[in-house]
């Protein structure tokens, strides 16, 4: 069995033909179309590029996914939503198809190409799609396309009936009670006025699960296409399997004994990503390691907020002469938050620093151990989001201050800086934490000077804040 594909230009082709024969140069200012997405997006691009019309508006169902709505907004489409059935009958006065028609009838500057009733839709496939396919695969003996507006299968069916009558024309409808984006059930084809009934030889009915599953398989094999493409392929598979089971496959084969098939790939998967996960079970998708991290650590980071110890300390600490002694003190407008555990804080801390013991007592990094980050971030986020109250003696000290954060290795304080920045504080951390301070002190001691004045440290004011400790379970 051979196969050939007509990729997503399938929606551009009718849009090109519809606008070529509908837009009136110098008069048309607005284009309105009821469309689930692909056709009207194609119209918006063609309208701008070929006709200089930028005001293109989409009328569509309120049941359209947010992803698809945003995609249309991305391409500059004005959007009007309608309640009721997602695929209204073209003649229903309550539906968006008829509303679009009436708007165009009431204004010379507004046109409604109306893909549902305009013969330029299906005739575009006689003009372009059919000849292209026959040129690419002259041995073709089976063509398969889904049936929504039915423009594609109608145009191809009419073309091949004349150009190569031996080609079997297979239409695919949505299984009753199910829904696939684009195609319709057989019952919903009743009001479609295109001559689709004389353009097909057989109809297959396909459900949404198979459509999304086969689309996923195609994408993973490098043929990137959406659910209605998988829908068409499933219809083709069903038809072939029925003939194989009946022993009649040779009836639709060519002179070489093979069935040379074409099925239409007429959409992309991206706007339907959420629906893939709704329709298909978890077994279809690889798992996410550390998926719990999607709910924490939600704020941005900036390397500019991490300071080397040698640069950070002079920005926050000053040396003053008091009673013939040099004393290290906090600079005005500065605050230091020390996230280590109380015992480590009591052993040594920077002058004037405040102890908020959020950092893990195991000294585990939140970036190397996801469990630490899962517990650290919510506590930081909750604490610094809490409104000030009479029982809080730390948050008031941070208002309007430059804040330097310290921890064991710089990682927990880096997380805290991200949280504080998100809350509007001017915060930064010491890269490498107290380990970096110790390394700095060791280097300077070798050079005969001390990085931190221990006398000043002993005279500094330390406030210990009792908070729940962060420990991995």
Higher-confidence position of 85 and 458:
85
- E strand or H helix at 402: strand 402-406
CA-to-CA dists, residue 223 to 133, 230, 239, 264, 266, angstroms: 18, 11, 22, 12, 12
- How are strands ordered across the β-sheet holding 402-406? 306-307, 426-430, 402-406, 334-338, 354-355, 463-464
Q: Are residues 257 and 327 in the same domain?
A: no
Residues ≥6 apart with Cβ < 8 Å to 176 = 185, 186, 187, 205
Task: Copy the structure tokens of residue 154.
Answer: 């109608």
Place of tokens 């059930």: 185
Burial class for 395, CB neighbours closer than 10 Å (0-12, 13-18, 19+): middle
Higher-confidence position of 165 and 8:
165
Confirm whether 76 is domain-assigned: yes
Q: Is the pLDDT reported for residue 437 higher than 80?
A: yes
pLDDT band, residue 1 (cuts 50/70/90):
very low
Q: Parallel, antiparallel, or unpaired for β 142-146 and 260-264?
A: parallel
Claim: this prediction has a pTM higher than 0.95:
no
Q: For residue range 344-355, list pLDDT tens digits in order.
A: 999 999 999 999
Q: Is the pLDDT reported for residue 460 higher than 90?
A: no
Confirm whether 17 is domain-assigned: no
- Model pLDDT, residue 199: 97
- Model pLDDT, residue 372: 94
Q: Are residues 151 and 252 in the same domain?
A: yes
Q: Is the pLDDT reported for residue 401 higher than 90?
A: yes
- Please state the length of the chain: 473
- Model pLDDT, residue 129: 95
Q: Give the Cα separation of 143 and 200 in Å (integer).
A: 10
Q: Is the pLDDT reported for residue 457 higher than 60?
A: no
Domain closes at, from 111, 129, 150 = 111
* CATH number, domain with residue 82: 3.40.50.1100
CA within 13 Å, CB half, 89: 11
Residues ≥6 apart with Cβ < 8 Å to 415 = 297, 366, 373, 376, 377, 380
- Model pLDDT, residue 380: 96
- Model pLDDT, residue 446: 62
- Model pLDDT, residue 389: 58
The stretch 188-195 carries a mean pLDDT of 90
Q: Give the Cα separation of 69 and 58 in Å (integer).
A: 10
User: By residue range, what is the domain housing residue 446?
Assistant: 303-464
- Model pLDDT, residue 10: 66
Q: Give the Cα separation of 365 and 410 in Å (integer).
A: 9
Q: Taking the alpha carbons of 30, 32, 37, 42 in that order, is the dihedral positive or negative?
A: negative
Q: Indicate the DSSP class of residue 408.
A: S
The stretch 371-379 carries a mean pLDDT of 96
pLDDT band, residue 168 (cuts 50/70/90):
very high
pLDDT band, residue 90 (cuts 50/70/90):
confident
Give percent above pLDDT 90 in the chain: 71
Cβ atoms of 307 and 298 within 8 Å: the answer is no
Q: For residue range 324-373, list pLDDT tens digits in order.
A: 677 888 999 999 999 999 999 999 999 999 999 999 877 789 999 999 99
- Model pLDDT, residue 368: 92
Q: Are residues 323 and 390 in the same domain?
A: yes
Q: Is 454 helix (H, G, I), strand (E, B) or coil?
A: helix
* CATH number, domain with residue 362: 3.40.250.10
pLDDT band, residue 92 (cuts 50/70/90):
confident
Place of tokens 């990137």: 224
Q: Are residues 455 and 312 in the same domain?
A: yes
- What does the CA dihedral 406, 412, 414, 417 come to, rounded to 10 degrees? -80
pLDDT band, residue 88 (cuts 50/70/90):
confident
Task: Copy the structure tokens of residue 109.
Answer: 């500057």
Q: Are residues 145 and 270 in the same domain?
A: yes
Q: Are residues 331 and 454 in the same domain?
A: yes
- E strand or H helix at 158: helix 151-163
Confirm whether 132 is domain-assigned: no
Q: Are residues 261 and 145 in the same domain?
A: yes
Higher-confidence position of 53 and 360:
53
Q: Are residues 183 and 321 in the same domain?
A: no
The stretch 110-116 carries a mean pLDDT of 93
- Model pLDDT, residue 388: 62
Q: Are residues 308 and 455 in the same domain?
A: yes
Q: Is the pLDDT reported for residue 304 higher than 70?
A: yes
User: Taking all residues of the chain, what is their mean pLDDT, rounded to a whole number?
Assistant: 88
Domain closes at, from 111, 126, 157 = 111
Q: For residue range 64-79, list pLDDT tens digits in order.
A: 888 889 999 999 999 9
Confirm whether 412 is domain-assigned: yes
């Amino acid at each position: 069995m051979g196969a050939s594909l007509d990729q997503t230009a399938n929606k551009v082709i009718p849009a090109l033909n519809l606008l070529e024969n509908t837009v009136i140069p110098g008069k048309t200012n607005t284009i309105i179309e009821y469309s689930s997405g692909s056709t009207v997006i194609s119209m918006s691009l063609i309208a701008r590029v070929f006709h200089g019309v930028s005001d293109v508006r989409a009328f569509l169902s309120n049941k359209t996914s947010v992803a698809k709505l945003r995609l249309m907004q991305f391409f500059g489409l004005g959007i009007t939503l309608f309640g009721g059935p997602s695929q209204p009958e073209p003649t229903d006065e309550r539906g968006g198809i008829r509303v679009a028609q009436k708007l165009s009838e009431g204004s010379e500057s507004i046109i409604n190409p109306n893909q549902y009733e305009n013969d330029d839709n299906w005739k575009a496939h006689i003009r372009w799609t059919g000849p292209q396919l026959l040129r690419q695969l002259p041995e073709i003996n089976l063509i398969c396309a889904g049936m929504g507006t039915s423009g594609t299968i109608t145009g191809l069916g009419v073309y091949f009936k004349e150009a190569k009558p031996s080609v079997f024309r297979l239409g695919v409808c949505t299984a009753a009670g199910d829904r696939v984006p684009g195609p319709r059930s057989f019952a919903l084809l009743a009001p479609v006025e295109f001559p689709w009934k004389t353009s097909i030889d057989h109809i297959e009915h396909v459900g949404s699960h198979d459509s999304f599953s086969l689309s996923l398989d195609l994408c993973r094999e490098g043929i990137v296409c959406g659910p209605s493409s998988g829908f068409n392929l499933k219809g083709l598979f069903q038809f072939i399997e029925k003939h194989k089971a009946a022993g009649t496959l040779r009836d639709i084969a060519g002179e070489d004994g093979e069935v040379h098939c074409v099925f239409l790939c007429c959409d992309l998967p991206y706007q339907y990503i959420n629906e893939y996960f709704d329709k298909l079970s978890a077994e279809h998708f690889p798992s996410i390691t550390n998926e719990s991290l999607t709910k924490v650590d939600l704020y941005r980071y900036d390397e500019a907020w991490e300071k080397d110890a040698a640069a950070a300390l002079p920005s926050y600490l000053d040396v003053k002469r008091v009673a013939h002694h040099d004393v290290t003190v906090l600079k005005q407008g500065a605050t230091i938050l020390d996230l280590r555990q109380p015992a480590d804080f009591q052993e040594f801390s920077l002058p004037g620093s405040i102890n908020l013991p959020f950092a893990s007592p195991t000294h585990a990094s939140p970036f190397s151990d996801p469990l630490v980050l899962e517990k650290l971030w919510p506590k930081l986020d909750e604490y610094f989001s809490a409104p000030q109250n009479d029982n809080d003696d730390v948050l008031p000290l941070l208002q309007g201050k430059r804040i330097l954060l310290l921890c064991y290795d710089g990682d927990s304080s880096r997380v805290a800086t991200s949280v504080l920045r998100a809350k509007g504080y001017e915060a930064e951390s010491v890269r490498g934490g107290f380990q970096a301070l110790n390394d700095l002190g060791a280097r300077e001691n070798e050079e005969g000077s001390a990085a931190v004045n221990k006398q000043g440290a002993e005279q500094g004011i330390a406030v210990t804040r009792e908070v729940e400790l962060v420990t991995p379970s």
